[in-house]
Structure 1
């Protein structure tokens, strides 16, 4: 009888554990800003250019509208974003940062450095790891499409 490799030999478990540890490291830093990790990801995209459609934002974050819409509602209730219907097509909802949302960019800028400083890797190793994880995701996306 054949059995799967042990848990500690599984790539999925290593990635899962790393993600859990990374999220635990981000959580208290983001709490200082009143953000959850998913909200932070949305804001990371918007700080580089707001006014995106919900569809474009979902594609960038790899989130469906059923997941993204409640996130945006919470960000809007917190006064960090505003949603508006596009003048050229009422079916399109655009997301803009508010002044309060823009103001969070500066204190948030140091968070990534604080987290990755705690990883114990030098910058080139972290960049290599990031690039390998992107390649892993792309490969898996290609084979499941």
Structure 2
């Protein structure tokens, strides 16, 4: 199966109201989601809010699992926690799923919106000027 088929099947199931455990690739969501080791549980979004981690079709070219950093009317801006610069754009209708939990390598579920994770993600957002250095060290330790 190709990645595209897996993504479309996951979206179809989420649209039907089924929770889907979806593997994440890459390092764009470090340090909160480790690609290649962890998965996210996706559900149908009822409301998309600032700070949500979503699966979205962005820039009319690809799907990403990134955090919502801005919502203005129907326009949504996303950015991966592990990205230093660069954002993606989409419409609210392009947000296909909400990530609710992270599943670690041992199969344990962790709430993405636990109070400590929300505080940590806000702090991480404000650390953009220095997080390239923190991420470089973190990647070497992985």
TM over 0.5: no
Greater fraction of residues in helix: 1
Max Rg structure: 1
Q: What TM-score results when the alignment is normalised by the length of structure 1?
A: 0.30
Q: What TM-score results when the alignment is normalised by the length of structure 2?
A: 0.30
Greater fraction of residues in strand: 2
